[in-house]
A and B are shown apart, each in its own frame.
Chain A
Amino acid sequence: MEKKHQPSRPLILPFLLMLPILVLLAGATANAAAFRLIYANDNLGELDGCG
């Protein structure tokens, strides 16, 4: 049996639908400033504490 070629348009359609969302996400990412807090508290003089 010969396989029929599927039309390519339906594959592109989901990407086209997602494009506005991706653009909005990219915009938000571009405006945000990223930083990391590395934090701890209450060491209580512990030289050898482990989790």
Chain B
Amino acid sequence: MGGLSKKSFLIKSLVNDPQYPALVVTGGNLLFKMDQLEPGTAETSKIAADGVLQANQKMGATFVGIGARDLAAGLAFLRQSQKPPAFTWLSLNLVDPASHQPLFTPILHRQAGGVKIAILALTDHTAFPNEPGEFQVVDWRSALPEALARIEKDVACVLLLSNYALSENMEIARKHSSIDLILQAGHAIGNMTPTVVNKTLIAQTEIRGKYLGVMDIDWNGHGKWSEGALSPQVGEKDQPASTYANRFIALKQSLVSDPEIEALVRQTQRSIDKLQHGQTR
């Protein structure tokens, strides 16, 4: 049995480090393979998505950024699991077409290691045709500036979960220096070694649950980033850089499984098999 149960065991061991209080961060495109469900597999895809969501919630995910593919089963599918504060779907620019108000939570506040973190998410507007529908995804250029202006004085650290491609995220980082971290989703480029653009650190993991990213941060306030050990600037009066140490852990078959998640995955798979057998009779 595969990745989710291994991921859960790994997360449970990683969150118990007293030196590094942890925040579990789930980027977008969690639930579905495609932007739209294929008619023949829609129901089985929804059962799998429900299992994936439940498993992630059990392993500590309390929020997820909405990627374009998470909308494949429509708004109602996401709304049924939107239960803040226990679990929150996040998107700043997924809005009601009439009121232009966000349909899900636009900004979430969390603390980790005493650091106040604002978490925002952007859904890739270029993935959707500009046609009337039950939702509208607006360009980040319209949605982001006002949201950042609202939070940047009250929080220590700003984390953006972005469904945009790297080139867009680099533009976001150059235009908005108040964003400290961008974790990408939606444009497969493998494990991306964290890269500093302006004052923002950008990172991403491989797709399909094959890897887990772990970033240990020694936070010295908004501004500069430096990789590795703490580097006080000897002889300078500047604030020292915040430092990070990142690693990607492969969810190999040889890792220990979490029995609770393994049972949940088996149950989900049985439900899928049952539906498929029923359809073929």
Contact = CB atoms under 8 A, between A and B. Distances in A.
Given A31-B240, A50-B2, A50-B251, A39 B232 contact: no
22 contacts: A27-B232, A28-B230, A33-B218, A34-B113, A34-B216, A34-B218, A35-B219, A37-B214, A38-B213, A39-B27, A40-B26, A40-B211, A41-B67, A42-B188, A42-B205, A42-B208, A44-B209, A45-B52, A46-B4, A47-B265, A47-B268, A51-B249
B19 interface: yes
Given A41-B184, A42-B186, A44-B29, A35 B23 contact: yes
Determine chain A's interface SS by DSSP, over half rule: mixed
Contacts of A9: none
Most buried by A among B3, B24, B215: B3
Chain B interface residue number, banded: 35 or more
Contacts of B250: 51
Given A40-B213, A41-B27, A49-B2, A35 B69 contact: no
Interface in B77-102: none
B25 A39 contact: yes
A49 B265 contact: no
A45 B49 contact: yes
A27 B233 CA distance: 12
B22 A37 contact: yes
B2 A39 contact: no
Interface in B12-51: 14-15, 17, 19-33, 45, 48-49, 51
Given A34-B219, A40-B27, A45 B32 contact: yes
A34 B212 CA distance: 19
B144 interface: no
Interface in B157-196: 159, 181, 183-186, 188
A25 B185 contact: no
A22 B49 CA distance: 51
Interface string A4-16: 0000000000000
Contacts of A21: 234
B269 A47 contact: yes
B220 interface: yes
Top 4 nearest A-B pairs by Cβ distance?
A: A41-B27, A51-B250, A48-B2, A35-B113
Contacts of B30: 42-45
A10 B253 CA distance: 53
A47 B5 CA distance: 9
A33 to B, nearest CB: 5
Nearest to A41: B27
A51 B30 CA distance: 17
A17 to B, nearest CB: 13
